[in-house]
Amino acid sequence: MPRKKIELRNTIESLSILDADGKVDKKLEPKLSNDEILSLFRGMLLARRYDERMLRLQRQGRIGTYGPALGQEAASLGPAFAITKDDWFVPSFREPAGMLWRGWPMARLMLWWGGNEIGATPPEELNDMPICVPVSSQIQYGAGIAWGLKLDGNKSVALTFVGDGGTSEGDFHEGVNCAAVFNLPMVIVVQNNQWAISLPRRKQTASETIAQKALAYGMNGIQADGNDILAMIAATREAVDRARSGGGPTLIEAVTYRLGVHTTADDPKKYRTEEEVEAWRCKDPLDRFWKYVQDKGVLNEKSREAMEEEIAAEISAAVEKSETYQADIMEPFDHCFETMTPALKRQRAEFEAYLLNGGSNGSPHAASSSAISQVH
């Protein structure tokens, strides 16, 4: 028998709407009101200034190791904008733009990076998971959430993030395969920032694109310009609509670049050149969107200056709130189990008695709910 070409039902496309000079493809431009454009620019600017402040705080010894998201703001803000509060948001650790857009208190994120687990408490009104560092574990969580949504007949979707390095992990393949086999309402955004710490993308996979991995699992995939917030919005909207209507999962490869360090424990000068970084700096998502915003007449230099001042004050207030936060010393007992076990109750009572009898200079514990409200 002759060889036959196998026709795949799924497709892979590449999408870019806003080029590095801020010129837009009118045919592909997503419909956004001026208020939405203004809010999106503020969201990206807030994320950039937050990121810069966090880096300074780490260098000053005021928080622990920090993983910057410099240059990757559009890759998480665009998808976050394209979903609703009823949808699930499952981040890795380079999605502060998306998390702040979703409504995470900035002080709470600062506490997470400062080593306080209260920072892992999602706002009650959101279907969000907290920052999660273990590589590619987000895919398993997202698939599990999406499976639960489908079983419940819920029309919400699970938006999940992972890095290009995460696509080499078993968790990625297991989760994506599960999503495809069970036709789950899941959108997977791979932030391809070209480097998995010091390992370049070319050594991560021999695939020409990461998006094409979707074909192997029987789902749709798209390669979007991750530095183009309009492309990320359009790609995610399409994927969300498909998932919500029962069309299954989509893998979005957001092609972007990590302009800063992997984390503050990293020195990228040891493995990449300044010429490479500068070439990508010309594609900065914030600068690109700023040109678009100006062309739209939504914002000018003077109004941006006022926005910058407002954001600076917001960040300073969040820093003060996080640094004056009083931890609840009883939290280890309160949050181990949904219903405290008899043994844990005895241990808690014993420890509380110890504190009340002067065993510590600390005062008796405050209620956990009050502790959370400090950083809302």
Buried b (16+ CB within 10 A) or exposed e, 158-193: bbbbbbbbbbebebbbebbbbbbeebbbbbbbbbbb
Q: Identify which of 227, 239, 142, 240 has the alpha carbon closest to the alpha carbon of residue 192.
A: 227
Q: Which of 94, 102, 242, 258 is catalytic?
A: 258
Based on the residue annotation, tell me whether 262 is a catalytic residue of this protein.
Answer: yes
Contact 103, 174 (CB under 8 A): no
- Round to whole Å and give the CA distance between 111 and 267: 24
List the one residue out of 329, 337, 330, 327 whose CA is nearest residue 371.
327
Which residue's structure tokens are 């749709």?
Answer: 220
181 residue type, one letter: V
SS (H, E, C) 308-348: HHHHHHHHHHHHHHHHCCCCCCCHHHHCCCCCCCHHHHHHH
Q: Is 271 a catalytic residue?
A: yes
Instruction: Give me the catalytic one of 56, 271, 346, 376.
Output: 271
DSSP assignment of 229-297 equals HHHHHHHHHHHHHHHHTT---EEEEEE----S-SSTT--GGGTS-HHHHHHHHTT-HHHHHHHHHHHTT
Task: Determine the Cα–Cα distance for residues 270 and 262; give it in Å rounded to an integer.
Answer: 12
Catalytic member of 262, 288, 325, 365: 262
Tokens standing for 14?
């590449």
Beta strands in the chain (DSSP E): 12-15, 88-90, 127-128, 158-163, 186-192, 195-196, 199-200, 220-225, 250-255
Identify whether 292 is a catalytic site residue: no
Question: Are 111 and 326 spatial neighbours (Cβ–Cβ below 8 Å)?
Answer: no
Which amino acids are annotated catalytic?
258, 262, 271
